[in-house]
Amino acid sequence: MLIKDKKIAIVGGGPGGLTLARLLQMKGADVKVYERDANRNVRVQGATLDLHLESGLRALEEAGLMNAFKANYRPGADRIRVLDEHAKIFYDQHAGESIEAFGEEWFRPEIDRGPLREILLDSLQADTVVWDSHILSLEPIANTWKLVFQNGNIAIADIVIGADGANSKIRPFITPIKPFYSGITALEGNVYDSAKNAPKIHELLKGGKIFAFGDAKTLIVSAKGDGSLAFYTGCKMDATWVKDSGIDFTDNKQVLDWFKNEYAAWDAIWQELFEYDKGYFIPRPLYCMPLDQTWDAKANITMLGDAAHLMPPYAGEGVNMAMLDAVELSEALTTSAYPTIQSAIAHYEKQMCLRFAEVAQETLNNTDWMHSPNGLQIMLDMFNEIPS
């Protein structure tokens, strides 16, 4: 095996990095995951994740974790309501019978990020994850890499794999290619105990998802298993809007005032999301890697997930792509089909870039029409084309 007696460092403990660690350990690899979170109990934010048969669910199957997933996923959380800006419901999956059908391509079960992370962490050998490891720098030393962390620790690895997200510290050692701005900025927010703190939206959600369209803007809301909800606005903004707006995003009143102005045509019911005074807000300008990106494979360093192929979230492919990356990279590194680690990495990266180009084009198309004046009608037309 190419990686026999090699120390592998995975930088980043998200779903992609943890899935890769699990798959490599199943083949006997020596793996450490360096994660910047202080410990495994740090609260994991963000919306729920829908896993797809050919990617996220495939990865869990190959990792031997499908039973754990089935015990932790949230039946019914994949049900969607499509609304306009006045909160009028145009499409409602809650009206039909619930059918849980693992193995069917159309079935995309939902799981919260926290439970998915726990499943993956529990599958790893003890001390695989090195917490509080925020990487500062990477330095090549002979045929190895020296990793330097913010806490002063260092590590030496034969192979480094960047799973460290959009602002990857590993990517620049692989390629200088940078992402471009999609034209859309999202604002992420949350409401804890939504039944109490946003009761009208909570009732609209019914434990599932809301896609609301109006005035060439979007608002996506997801219920979470802990009783909270996560939401994302989506607006056409300049790339520098976050800085130029002058908004203090830690000041909830300023954010509420922005929403009232920016979403002035929207019903006041949506303001419930911003009136919760203990919520947090994170502005996220949405970027995408060039669809034609390629580079020459390096001898002992590669990447997966957003570090490799950042794109907007409007196709639900981010975590699924990362977990499929983990499957394909682990296969490349543990097969006898390639004479060197570099050739194995080259094969993985070529396939990954081709796959990304196709998915990213779909994502950019979705990003465009969802934030157009006809976004609601296009979404409804799409659902109407789905066989019942």
Q: What is the C-alpha end-to-end distance of the chain, expressed in Å?
A: 48
The answer to the question of whether 171 is labelled as a binding residue is no
Question: 288: closest CA among 370, 169, 166?
Answer: 166
Question: What is the bridge-based pairing of β-strands 159-162 and 180-191?
Answer: unpaired
SS3 26: helix
Cβ neighbours of 261 (radius 10 Å) = 8
Q: Which two tokens stand for residue 192?
A: 């804890």
SS3 110: strand
Question: 230: closest CA among 262, 199, 191?
Answer: 191
SS3 173: helix
Give me the residue label for tokens 């959600």. Answer: 205
The answer to the question of whether 43 is labelled as a binding residue is yes
The answer to the question of whether 306 is labelled as a binding residue is yes
Cβ neighbours of 39 (radius 10 Å) = 9
Burial 322-342 (b: 16+ CB within 10 A, else e): bbbbbbbbbbbbbeeebeebb
- State which H helix or E strand residue 144 sits in: strand 144-149
The answer to the question of whether 132 is labelled as a binding residue is no
Q: Which two tokens stand for residue 283?
A: 């502005």
**Are 131 and 118 contacting, i.e. CB atoms less than 8 angstroms apart?**
no
Give me the residue label for tokens 């303001």. Answer: 271
The residue type found at 134 is H
Residue 26: exposure state from Cβ atoms within 10 A (0-12, 13-18, ≥19): middle
Residues of each annotated binding site = 43, 50, 113, 306
Which residue numbers belong to the known binding site for NADPH? 43
Binding-site residue ranges for FAD? 50, 113, 306
